[in-house]
Structure 1
C-alpha cells in the first residue's frame, strides 16, 4: 500500500485503523480462488499460505467469501478500494453512519466504527447468514455496531438521519431512501454500475444529491435487483444473423480492454451493453451485445480489424458514435464525471453538474 502511494494523505486515520483491525482477523476461514475454470475453496487450516495470499497478495484484489451457483456473491473488498471509499466518505468521529452490505467479514463496518466511535455505526446485510457472521465478528472484536439483517435498498429508517451513508455493493439506480435518510449536507459513497463509485452530498433543501466519481473498480451487484442469468453473447448471436458483411474499421479493440476512461464513458452512454475482450496472436478482439437481440464484434486479423453486427439495433454504429463523442470531450477519465440523483431521476454528467452534457438527459 505504501509503495503504491495508496494511503490517502488527507485521511491518516485509515492506515492506523487498518493496522489495528487487520483484514485477516475478519476474513472467514474459507475463501474462494478462481483456477481459470471454476471457483475453488481455500481453507485457512489446510492452506494458510494461499489463504493469506488471497487476502494480501494484491491490494487491488477482492477476496471472495461466498460462491453461489458458480459465481461469487460476497467478498472482502480489495484493501485499496476500501481505503479509497473511506477517504471519499470524509468520516469524522461522532458521526452517525449507515453501511449497506455487511458481508461475513464486517471488516468495513469495523473500520467505520474505529473512526466514528461506539454506537455510531449501523450496518445492514440482506443475507441473514452473512449478517449473523458479520455481527459475531464485530462482537468478537469488541466493537459496538448495530448489525441488522434486511434489504439494504430500504436503508434503515429507524436510525435516521445519518451523517454518512456508504454502500459496499453496486447499484444501477441509487435508492432515494438512502438520500432521504441522510441529513442535508451529509455525504454518501455509492458504487454505481459495477464500474466506479460516486461521492454525493445531499442538498440543503433535501431535493437532490450530487457529486463526483471518485474511483474505478468493479463491484458486486445488488442481489435484490440484479437479474440472474442474462443472455450472453453466444445466446444473442445464435438467434440473430449478421445484418451485412464484415466491414473494415480503424477502431482498435485493445482500447476496449485497457482504456478505463473509454470504458467508463461507454458505460455511461450505452449502459445496456456488455463488452468482452480476448487477446490472441493477432491482437485484441471484442464481443459486444445488449442481452436482447443485438450484437457486434470487432475482430483483429493480420489484415486489420473488421466489424460485424446483427439485430435491430446497430451496435457497431452506436459504439462508434459514443466513442467519437468521448474523443470530442477530450478523452476524459472516470474522474471527470459526476452524478446527480433526485427522487425520481438520476443522471451522469461530464465536467459541470449544471451545464455539462448529461446521460440520460433529465429533461
Structure 2
C-alpha cells in the first residue's frame, strides 16, 4: 500500500474545487454539509476501474492507494467506475458536481419520504437520508451484489435506509403508498407512469434523461401529469432492464455501414465545427433525432462527422476545406438529412440553450418541448440510448 494518502486532506481539496468551480448549490447549502458528513469515499469499493485508452483496467486500493485516491478525488465532474461487465461500466460513484446539482434540483426537505432508484454503492441514498431523516428513504437496486454492499456501507455510516433488491423501472414504491421525491441515478428515455403515480401532487422526480442531461419534473396538483425543465448535462449508466444501448465509436459506425456504397450524395454549405464543441446544439439534436449517434473528427480540411442509428442507416459528412461538406447517406433512412433539418430548426428557434428545454409526461404520452410545455415539441418514445464510451 502506498503511504501518504490523507483522506481528510483529499476531501478538503475536493470541497475547495467544488467551491472554485461554483458547484456548490447556493439554494441548497445542506448538500455541502451532507457531503462533508457522508463523504463519497466512504462508499467506494476497494477496487475501482480506470480507462487506459483501450480498456477499463482494475485499480485496487491495496496495491495502489494513491492511484485509487486519485481516481476518486481528482475531478469534481468525473464519475468513479466501480463495476465493469463485458468490458463496459455497469455502475459508478457519480461525479460530485452532478450529484450536488441533482440534489439541489430535488428540493429535498427534512421529513420528505424519498424513493432512491438505482442504489449503486448507496451514496446518494445516504445523502438523501442525511437530509430527510431516519427511516424516510427507501432505495431500489437491481443488482443484489451492489445492494448488499450498499446496505453494509449505509449501516456503517449509521443511516437508517431500506435497500430493496429489484427492478424499479415501472414498479411501485416498495412498501406502497406515495413519496414526496423520486431520485433516479440511471438514464431512461421515457419516464414510467408508475413513477408519477408514486409521487404526491406537487412532489418532484429528478432523473437522467437519455444519458445526456437530467430533468426535474413536478407532479401536477391533479396527479394527471408531470412537467419540468432540463437542469444540466451529465452522462449516466443506462437502465439495465431497458433496450440495449446503441454502441458508440467508429467501430459501431463501420458495423452499420459495412461495405455499402452511398445511396445519395450532395454538397452542403455548412461548417461542421459546432458539432464538435457546441453542446447546446448537440443537446438540441439529441432531442429532435434521439436515435442518431453522432461522431466527429478533424483533419486538414476541417471537422468531419458521421451519424448512424445503430441499425441500418448511416451518413458521412466530409469536409472539403473550402467551407463546403459532402453528405453521403445510405440505408433505408436519410439520417443525415434528419440531423440537418433538426440543426436548421434549432437555428430558427434562436439557438436556445439546453436549459430552455423541458419534458411533460402524461399517462398516454410524453414529449420534450422548448420554451414552454405548449411550445415546439418532440415526442418521446422508448429508444435505445447511446452507450457511455
Alpha-carbon distance in structure 2 between the residues aligned to 1:77 and 1:250: 41
For each residue in 1:14-61, what CA deviation from the matched residue of structure 2 results, as whole angstroms up to 9, or x when unmatched? 001111111111111111000000000011111111111111111111
User: Quick one: structure 1 residues 310 and 98, their matched pair in 2 at CA, closer, same or farther if it must change by over 3 Å?
Assistant: same
Alpha-carbon distance in structure 2 between the residues aligned to 1:268 and 1:198: 13
**Gaps in structure 2 of 5+ consecutive residues:** 1-17, 382-389
Shift of 1:137: 0.6
| SS of 2:20 mapped into structure 1 | coil
Alpha-carbon distance in structure 2 between the residues aligned to 1:344 and 1:290: 26
Instruction: Tell me how large the CA RMSD over aligned residues is.
Output: 1.7
Alpha-carbon distance in structure 2 between the residues aligned to 1:45 and 1:254: 45
Alignment correspondent of 2:199: 182
| SS of 1:207 mapped into structure 2 | coil
Contact conserved, 1:240 with 1:294, CA < 8 A, in 2?
no
Alpha-carbon distance in structure 2 between the residues aligned to 1:267 and 1:228: 15
Within-5 A mapping of 1:92-103: 92-103=109-120
Within-5 A mapping of 1:1-363: 1-103=18-120, 105-153=121-169, 154-227=171-244, 232-238=252-258, 240-245=260-265, 247-304=266-323, 305-353=325-373, 355-360=374-379
Shift of 1:255: 1.6
Alpha-carbon distance in structure 1 between the residues aligned to 2:39 and 2:72: 10
Alpha-carbon distance in structure 1 between the residues aligned to 2:246 and 2:337: 27
Alpha-carbon distance in structure 1 between the residues aligned to 2:299 and 2:40: 37
User: Quick one: structure 1 residues 331 and 158, their matched pair in 2 at CA, closer, same or farther if it must change by over 3 Å?
Assistant: same
Contact conserved, 1:100 with 1:155, CA < 8 A, in 2?
no
User: Quick one: structure 1 residues 191 and 155, their matched pair in 2 at CA, closer, same or farther if it must change by over 3 Å?
Assistant: farther
Contact conserved, 1:199 with 1:211, CA < 8 A, in 2?
yes
Alpha-carbon distance in structure 2 between the residues aligned to 1:6 and 1:337: 21
Alpha-carbon distance in structure 1 between the residues aligned to 2:53 and 2:242: 28
- Provide TM-score, normalisation by structure 1: 0.95
Alpha-carbon distance in structure 2 between the residues aligned to 1:133 and 1:290: 37
Contact conserved, 1:241 with 1:311, CA < 8 A, in 2?
no
- Provide TM-score, normalisation by structure 2: 0.89
User: Quick one: structure 1 residues 230 and 46, their matched pair in 2 at CA, closer, same or farther if it must change by over 3 Å?
Assistant: closer
